[in-house]
Amino acid sequence: MGEKLRAAGIPCFWATLAEIEKIQVFQVSYFQSATPPIVVCHNEQAQQGSLTFDWLEGSQRVTAQLPIFEQVIDRDVRGKLQHKTQTQNYAQFCDLHLPGRLCILRLCDRSYQFQQGLKIINQPNNQTVRLNWNCLSHFFAQKNPKQTFGVFHILQIPYLTK
């Protein structure tokens, strides 16, 4: 399938399941330093450590918005109570791919500790998570503007929420 896509001029890549399973994903808690970049993170076994890398190691940055669904009670037009599943918010994610190390540095606006480590925004600590996240995204763009950038939005599909 991949060869057919490439033959049609569609850029693509693929990997075997064994190759994918070798990739380690580290949950980033915060940046300790920008030069050199050092992140405090957790591995898949929830062990904390730090990782030093070079900004040029990052081949791409992928962002995603994942919906947060909640059960709510609402009233219909006749005033009758209805139980519904609604999207209440979106969790923001950013993956920094370091292919030479076979790892991904994953950041999430829900778990990133904006008050720790490197101060990316010169504002009081009571800024909103969204403002802090936008500043962090801008920080990445400045550090490696040549990174390829992918954006994924996971949409709510009605039949999946019933």
Which neighbouring-strand residues pair with 81?
75
> Can you point out the beta strands (E) in the chain?
24-34, 37-42, 48-52, 60-75, 81-98, 103-108, 148-153
Residues of the chain under the 50 pLDDT cut: 154-162
Within a domain: 159: no
Within a domain: 132: yes
Tell me the whole-structure pTM to 2 decimals.
0.78
Domain that includes residue 64, residue range: 22-154
Q: Which amino acid, residue 15?
A: A
Within a domain: 160: no
Tokens of 110: 């829900």
**pLDDT at residue number 16:** 87
Within a domain: 50: yes
Number of separate domains in the chain? 1
Within a domain: 11: no
**pLDDT at residue number 25:** 96
Which neighbouring-strand residues pair with 24?
103
Within a domain: 161: no
